[in-house]
Structure 1
Amino acid sequence: MSDIFSASCKAALKPLQPGSMFFLWAFIGLTITLILLSRRSRTRKLLPPGPPGLPLLGNLFQFPRTHLWLRLTEWRDQYGPIFSVNMAGQTIVVLNTFELVTDLFDRRSSIYSDRPRLVMASEILAGGFLLPAMAYGERWRRMRRVAHETFNVHASERFRPMQEREAALLVANILQEPKRWSYYCKRNAASVALTSVFLRPLTDSSADHIINRMDEISRSLTEASIIGTYLVDVFPIMLYLPEWLARWKREGREHHEAYTAMFERLMSDLRQKLQSGQFEDCLGASSLEAEDRGDLSKKESAWLAGVMFLAGADTSAGALHVLLLAMTLYPNALRRAHEELDTVIGRDRLPCFQDQKDLPYIDAIVKELLRWRPIAPIGAPRRCTQDNWYKGYLIPKGAIVIQNTWGMSHDTAYFPDADEFRPERFLETNGQAADFVPTTNTQKNFAFGSGRRICVGMNLAYQSLFINTACMLWALNVQKALDKNGMPIFPSRTEIIDEGLAVFPAPFECVLVPRLSGISQTISHIK
């Protein structure tokens, strides 16, 4: 009997054969997978509704690389104002109404202010210093505080004289070379950004190399921010690979060092200006003061200034392209703008910020531009930091939550004829509301985001868009270009170039001509 027991023990302790080991690990793996799938299935039933997907991969292959907002809006029409999708196990919840965004991003901002992890863009290329993508924590609060002190609603007013000069210069340049209007719109946006951050207006071509280099940095960071561009964003464990096995990691580190050197060189030049007595308010000056107080490190100060320039230049230029597209396609809106400008301003001077309260239609045009073709049609994603129940649905901890700005701005429940450009939506006539009067607060169209992560430069951006719109429409008539047969060319209303977080209308032709005699003389002193 004891021999039988001893033999049984030896058999039990005998190492498994390779084939047996394979089946054992396969069984364990299958069991774990089934448990995870079971849990995920139960959780899925608690989430907002959404499109069906594949096992494990979910809706991964249903996400387009570009124009994602159009797919999200299609799903909104099918599944409702709040829906969820599964990206290979990552839950994404999409918000499509003003009410939803206000309830979650504003009223529950304490758990909806974090960002999802962007390994390549934020951690490698930016080294953890990319403010818009930074985790909601102590560093973000310190850097954001400095930017807010410079660009809040009252502090931004100090930049208005500079913005008026830049708007006049934009008009003068277009009058001189009307076919290069796109270049001058981009140059205007870059000059305002450079001046408000580094005190370096683009008065000549001497700073063009800075603009070109900054454009390269912006494109690199934007491309890296698109999930799927780099596998490390899908499989973060790859971050721990040694550089000799991960060329992208070595190149990313080298790019980060080059970007940092660029930003620190600009800050060093600014410090020399300030020490020589050329003091004007700008974000860079505020960053240097914070650095001297010990509130920011040298690197934090440089990256804050550099990123704020990058964030402002492209978006402002895109909005001016939308303005000229709208004026080309909607001559009645242009005609009404001309009538208001002629009545309020006359023909002897350019508009200024003091005229804003007397130019409600120009202000309505600006608001409608931001609604009709939002430059950022999808808000930067948030990360939910704890399980949250909302309207009977579970938004689990770790879920990515997205504001579909395009879907919100084209919701026919709020905006009848949403695809049409109608500034009257933002007007009140004869004491009665027009078709839609959302608010007099420009933030409430959500073009600049919402909650604690709302765009910190929105006041400066709105000021630039208003004064540029007023000055360009005061000075210029916008006409359709003609083809070789003399027939008008209608630009595409729908074709959009998707460059990541910001978009531009597809290149189009229009004819810009002076609408008043003597305009060149009126603004000749600007040059």
Structure 2
Amino acid sequence: MTILLPLTLGLVVVVSWLWKIGSREAGLPPGPPTVPLLGNLHVFPQHSFHYKFTEWARHYGGIYSLKLGPDTIVILTDVAAVKELIEKRSGSTADRPPMYVAELVTGGLQMVLARYSDKWRSLRRTAHATLTPKASLRHIPIQKAEATQLLHDILHDPEGFFRHIHRAANSSIMSVLYGKRSPRYETQQTAAFYKMFHVWEEITAPGATPPIDIIPILKYIPERFAKWKQICAQTRRNQRDLYFGFLDETRRRIQSGCENGSYMEEVLKRQEELGMDTEMAGYLGGALIEAGSDTTALYLKSLILALVAYPDAQQKAQEEIDRVVGEHRMPTLEDLEAMPYIRAVILETHRFRPTPPLMVPHRALNDEEYKGFLIPKGCTIFINAWGIFHDPMLFDDPERFMPERYVLTVNGTKPELEMDASDLRPNFVFGVGRRSCPGIHVAQHAININVMFLIWAFNFSTANDAEGNPISVDTFKYEKGIVTGPSPFKCKITPRSAEKAELIESEFLESGETFSKFEYGLDRVDKEFVEKTRAASSR
């Protein structure tokens, strides 16, 4: 009896403790009902989180919480809360949640996913010191040339537009960063990058590996018994071969006097001043390649999907660009100031299908209080960009692609709201606070040039099947992932006039002079391809 009583009391204590795991602590924002141990894990979505997160936001409000076992997640679908907690209090919310897989592959040096630390601050400081608005202007010629080749490639192979978009995005950012371009999608560096990046996206996707960050003991499983560890090891080798290979090439080019003004040339020259060792420089370049290749390509695919699905918007955009540019030349960045509807198309594409429907999550470094709610230290914070941009309280008919909303108001919101522009600024999708994208100026130039060129050059319409029936496009059929774009779709792409087709050919040929500065170290197949395509355009 004397033994049984302590055991019973101990069992009661353990059961009571376990029963509390998963419950929502006092002071947290409201959220879906929890169950013991699991919290909300039993109702947590497996993919496309933004849809379920938005559904819950409409029920529980712009700030609510979830419990995943003992861990707390706070979802922000209120732009005022985002501004206050992520921007104004960025010193307390600039961390990232622990991600063992990213640590295993990159040693914690992937700038987007890295924890808030001295090394991250050095990476961030270097990016901001060199990717300035003024410095971004010197990269416009190669960005324009790559956008011109995109038109040329689509003109000759419209059905391969997905592949052409990915080549252009990767080659453009590679030229900016490392002074080295890819004339073909099959160029070794581009093919190797996308092969590696596909695996990297898969291995870092939620649910792709065991819950290592929740159950840390899993990290000690030997590699031979854990396939995910084997994939991580191979991905690390592939990344290092690519990123440090690019860095070595850039260093050799500097030494041989063949500089072309690329970003990493400056980083290497200022390495000591910026406090960057070789490891940090290699992974900084890698993070920027990944961001620049992926998001720009996904954005342009969403643009084309929207133009096919909403032909009236396409027609209005073409009428404006024709009025400003005329018939005998291609548009320039300077023209954009006189094209409010084109600018609205650019912003509406971001809103309609944000490339990151959920921004990369933040982690609270300290307890914070907001409107009576506790945002606890260590919690994960998601910014639900999809939910904000599709809020019917903010936007008229949010599920419709309607560029006119950005002609009516700065933020595209309902006119009567008169929201402060800083709350939902046009570049909101590039991030908030200390984790905002440092390459925003380079990215915006690339997007602006490509959007103008594509709308100026082509008509985008529905394709027909074998029986001649139109094949409708599904604007909700998107790939799984935190950063996402449309699943492959069919459409008909035709040049808007014979004169425009001729201009594309002549502009592509003239771009050869710009390209030549970045065609360093091309292999025999690429050289033959370059000679062949330029010879064809000259005829």
TM-score, shorter chain, exceeding 0.5: yes
Aligned pair in 2 of structure 1 residues 25, 351: CA closer, same or farther (>3 Å)? Answer: farther
Q: Structure 1: how far apart are the matches of 2:297 and 2:7?
A: 57
Q: CA deviation at 1:458?
A: 2.0
Q: Structure 1: how far apart are the matches of 2:286 and 2:448?
A: 24
Q: CA deviation at 1:30?
A: 4.6
1:396 to 353, 356, 376: 376
Aligned pair in 2 of structure 1 residues 336, 182: CA closer, same or farther (>3 Å)? Answer: same
Q: Counterpart of 1:180 in 2: which secondary structure?
A: helix
Does 2:202 correspond to 1:220? no
Q: Structure 1: how far apart are the matches of 2:44 and 2:421?
A: 36
CA contact (8 A) 2:362 2:381 kept: yes
CA contact (8 A) 1:125 1:252 kept: yes
Does 2:471 correspond to 1:489? yes
Q: Structure 1: how far apart are the matches of 2:233 and 2:248?
A: 22
CA distances 1:266-299 after superposition (whole Å, capped 9, x unpaired): 1111111122222233232233224354711111
Aligned pair in 2 of structure 1 residues 501, 283: CA closer, same or farther (>3 Å)? Answer: farther
1:287 to 267, 289, 306: 267
2:486 to 505, 511, 515: 505
Q: Counterpart of 1:144 in 2: which secondary structure?
A: helix
Aligned pairs (5 A) from 1:70-149: 70-120=51-101, 122-149=102-129
Q: CA deviation at 1:383?
A: 0.5
Q: Structure 1: how far apart are the matches of 2:12 and 2:277?
A: 50
Aligned pairs (5 A) from 1:251-262: 252-262=232-242
Q: CA deviation at 1:45?
A: 3.0
Partner of 1:455: 437
Q: Structure 1: how far apart are the matches of 2:91 and 2:433?
A: 9
Q: Counterpart of 1:361 in 2: which secondary structure?
A: helix
Q: CA deviation at 1:477?
A: 1.1
CA contact (8 A) 1:424 1:434 kept: no
Deviating more after overlay: 128-137 vs 226-235: 226-235
CA distances 1:407-460 after superposition (whole Å, capped 9, x unpaired): 00101111110000011111149xx99858867789545211211101222222
Deviating more after overlay: 245-254 vs 508-517: 245-254
Q: Counterpart of 2:75 in 1: which secondary structure?
A: strand
2:457 counterpart letter in structure 1: A
1:360 to 321, 334, 340: 340
Does 2:145 correspond to 1:161? no
CA contact (8 A) 1:190 1:211 kept: yes
CA distances 1:40-70 after superposition (whole Å, capped 9, x unpaired): 75x6231111001221111112122211100
Q: Structure 1: how far apart are the matches of 2:7 and 2:240?
A: 48
Q: Structure 2: how far apart are the matches of 1:327 and 1:480?
A: 10
Aligned pairs (5 A) from 1:186-197: 186-197=166-177
User: Which runs of no fewer than 5 residues in structure 1 stay unpaired?
Assistant: 1-10
Q: Structure 1: how far apart are the matches of 2:238 and 2:486?
A: 31
CA contact (8 A) 1:160 1:353 kept: no
User: Which runs of no fewer than 5 residues in structure 2 stay unpaired?
Assistant: 510-539
Q: Structure 1: how far apart are the matches of 2:420 and 2:158?
A: 36
Aligned pair in 2 of structure 1 residues 437, 475: CA closer, same or farther (>3 Å)? Answer: farther
Q: Structure 2: how far apart are the matches of 1:235 and 1:39?
A: 14
Aligned pair in 2 of structure 1 residues 234, 215: CA closer, same or farther (>3 Å)? Answer: farther
Partner of 2:299: 319
Q: Counterpart of 1:83 in 2: which secondary structure?
A: strand
CA contact (8 A) 1:426 1:437 kept: no
Partner of 1:474: 456
2:192 counterpart letter in structure 1: R
Q: Structure 2: how far apart are the matches of 1:39 and 1:389?
A: 23
Q: Counterpart of 2:129 in 1: which secondary structure?
A: helix
RMSD of the TM alignment (CA)?
Answer: 2.6
Q: Which has the larger radius of gyration?
A: 1
CA contact (8 A) 1:372 1:409 kept: yes
CA distances 1:168-194 after superposition (whole Å, capped 9, x unpaired): 111111111111111111111111111
1:230 to 203, 206, 209: 209
CA contact (8 A) 2:73 2:379 kept: yes
CA contact (8 A) 2:22 2:39 kept: no
Partner of 1:6: none
Aligned pair in 2 of structure 1 residues 335, 244: CA closer, same or farther (>3 Å)? Answer: closer
2:407 to 410, 413, 427: 427
Aligned pair in 2 of structure 1 residues 439, 450: CA closer, same or farther (>3 Å)? Answer: same
Q: Structure 2: how far apart are the matches of 1:163 and 1:437?
A: 36
Aligned pair in 2 of structure 1 residues 368, 450: CA closer, same or farther (>3 Å)? Answer: same
1:465 to 440, 443, 447: 447
Partner of 2:353: 373
Deviating more after overlay: 44-53 vs 221-230: 221-230
1:522 to 493, 496, 503: 503
Aligned length: 503
CA contact (8 A) 2:76 2:381 kept: yes
Q: CA deviation at 1:132?
A: 0.6
Q: Counterpart of 2:392 in 1: which secondary structure?
A: coil
Partner of 2:276: 296
2:27 to 46, 49, 55: 46
1:141 counterpart letter in structure 2: R
Q: Counterpart of 1:394 in 2: which secondary structure?
A: strand
1:337 to 296, 314, 317: 317
Aligned pair in 2 of structure 1 residues 439, 276: CA closer, same or farther (>3 Å)? Answer: farther
Partner of 1:384: 364
Does 2:45 correspond to 1:61? no
